[in-house]
């Protein structure tokens, strides 16, 4: 390993440490807000967005013209008294942060092995596989949770709710996560096979 | 693995030490002890040839299927 490569690995390691600290801080803020919401039921939670799509073309006889507003993305913010929905959203946020904390810790360990000079160890293959599984499955779980929360939030609205529905468009990044996760999974499999080849090579006398 | 390596028996018969054998065969002592402790996954024909040359034996004297 050249000195330059080691330096960049150390830079990445310190950046990952900063990201880890920020994630843990956000996690603590969310836990604090969830805890405090039980003591302030009337306050509106500005921290939690529930993504919705507001559709104006709602079959009520609206005659569409050129340049008409058809739909728009928005977010619902509920008061703290909707404990169940807010709890679901908080759980989603916590799951995202826990997943990213987990990924960052694993990445830091991988970068550590790079700094030590030998990243081709069996543990790194396992770490990459865990990261890929988190990237693939965590967004799916979160999407399901957000979907349930949005359904509940829309049914809790006081005013007429024609055309307000769960925002699929805003969550189209789900497919991106899955593709990235599959990519990382393939890399981890290649890594695993490479490591076993290297071990065999090393144990050949 | 069912293949056993009788290197230590052969070394005792010829009365050579690990250090000496490694020097004569031309591989490192660490690699030779990997082979002796049956942790090796493969052995090159060239290594086997040199071992047989130095220990004056056949490959069958070094390897055994159990």
Which residue out of B1, B42, B46, B59 would a mutagenesis test of the A interface target, given it has the greatest number of A Cβ atoms within 10 Å?
B42
**Looking at chain B, which residue has its C-alpha nearest residue A204?**
B42
Residue A184 confidence (pLDDT)? 95
Residue A110 confidence (pLDDT)? 94
Residue A61 confidence (pLDDT)? 59
Distance CA A20, CA A101 (A): 6
Please report whether residue A174 resides in a domain: yes
Mean per-residue pLDDT, B30-52: 90
| Letter string b/e over residues A83-110, b meaning 16 or more CB atoms within 10 A of that residue's CB | eebbebbbbbbeebbebbbebbebbbeb
Q: Give chain A's residues under pLDDT 50.
A: 1
Please report whether residue A81 resides in a domain: yes
Please report whether residue A64 resides in a domain: no
Residue A124 confidence (pLDDT)? 93
In degrees and rounded to multiples of 5, residue A41 shows phi and psi of -65, -25
User: Taking the CB of residue A40, how many other CB atoms lie within 10 A of it?
Assistant: 13
Residue A187 confidence (pLDDT)? 94
Task: Provide the domain count of chain A.
Answer: 1
Residue pair B25/B32 in contact (Cβ under 8 Å)? The answer is: yes
Compute the C-alpha angle B40/A113/A202, nearest 5°: 15
Flag if B40 and A203 touch (Cβ within 8 Å).
Answer: yes
Residue A101 confidence (pLDDT)? 96
Q: Which residues contact B46 (CB under 8 A, 6 or more apart)?
A: none
Which residue out of A196, A199, A205 would a mutagenesis test of the B interface target, given it has the greatest number of B Cβ atoms within 10 Å?
A205
Burial class (CB in 10 A: 0-12, 13-18, 19+), A66: exposed
Please report whether residue A49 resides in a domain: yes
The per-residue pLDDT of chain B, averaged, comes to 89
Flag if B40 and A204 touch (Cβ within 8 Å).
Answer: yes
Task: Name every chain B residue with its beta carbon within 8 A of the beta carbon of A195.
Answer: none
Flag if B44 and A205 touch (Cβ within 8 Å).
Answer: yes
Flag if B42 and A204 touch (Cβ within 8 Å).
Answer: yes
- ipTM > 0.85 (yes/no): no
Residue A64 confidence (pLDDT)? 65
- A135-158 per-position pLDDT tens digit: 999 988 888 888 888 888 888 887
Distance CA A51, CA A172 (A): 12
Residue A106 confidence (pLDDT)? 96
What is the distance in angstroms between the CA of the first residue and the CA of the last residue of chain B? 9
Residue A47 confidence (pLDDT)? 67
Closest CA of chain A from B46, distance in Å:
10
Question: Distance from CA of residue A71 to its chain's centroid?
Answer: 26
Structural domain of residue A38, as residue ranges? Answer: 3-57+73-202
Q: Which residues of A touch B (CB under 8 A)?
A: 199-200, 203-205
Distance CA A82, CA A111 (A): 43
Helix (H) or strand (E) holding A190: helix A173-202
Residue pair A27/A94 in contact (Cβ under 8 Å)? The answer is: yes
Identify the structural domains of chain B with CATH numbers, from first to last.
3-65 (1.10.260.40)
Please report whether residue A65 resides in a domain: no
Nearest of B58, B59, B21, B55 to residue B43 by alpha carbon:
B59
Residue A35 confidence (pLDDT)? 87
**Looking at chain B, which residue has its C-alpha nearest residue A203?**
B40
Please report whether residue A67 resides in a domain: no
Tell me the helices (H) and strands (E) count for chain A, helix number first: 4, 3
Please report whether residue A68 resides in a domain: no
Give the 3-state secondary structure of chain B.
CCEEECHHHHHHHHCCCHHHHHHHHCCCHHHHHHHHCCCCCECCHHHHHHHHHHHCCCHHHHEEEC
Please report whether residue A175 resides in a domain: yes
């Amino acid at each position: 390993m050249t000195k330059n490569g080691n330096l960049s690995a150390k830079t990445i390691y310190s950046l990952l440490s900063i990201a880890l600290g920020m994630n843990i801080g956000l996690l603590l803020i969310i836990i604090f807000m969830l805890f405090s919401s039980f003591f302030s039921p009337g306050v509106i939670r500005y921290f939690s967005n529930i993504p919705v799509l507001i559709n104006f073309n709602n079959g009520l006889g609206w005659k569409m013209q050129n340049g008409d507003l058809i739909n728009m993305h928005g977010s619902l913010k509920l008061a703290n008294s909707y404990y169940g929905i807010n709890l679901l959203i908080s759980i989603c946020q916590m799951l995202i942060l826990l997943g990213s904390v987990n990924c960052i810790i694993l990445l830091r360990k991988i970068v550590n092995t790079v700094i030590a000079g030998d990243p081709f160890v069996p543990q790194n293959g396992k770490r990459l596989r865990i990261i890929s599984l988190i990237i693939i499955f965590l967004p799916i779980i979160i999407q399901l949770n957000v979907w349930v929360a949005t359904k509940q939030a829309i049914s809790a609205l006081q005013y007429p709710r024609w055309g307000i529905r769960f925002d699929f468009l805003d969550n189209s990044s789900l497919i991106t996560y899955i593709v990235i996760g599959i990519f990382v999974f393939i890399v981890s499999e290649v890594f695993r096979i490479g490591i076993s080849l290297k071990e065999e090579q090393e144990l050949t006398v | 693995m069912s293949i056993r390596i009788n290197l230590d028996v052969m070394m005792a018969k010829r009365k050579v030490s690990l250090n000496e054998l490694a020097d004569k065969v031309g591989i490192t002592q660490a690699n030779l002890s990997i082979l002796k402790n049956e942790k090796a996954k493969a052995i090159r024909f060239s290594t086997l040839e040199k071992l047989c040359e130095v220990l004056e034996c056949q490959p069958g004297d070094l390897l055994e299927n159990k």
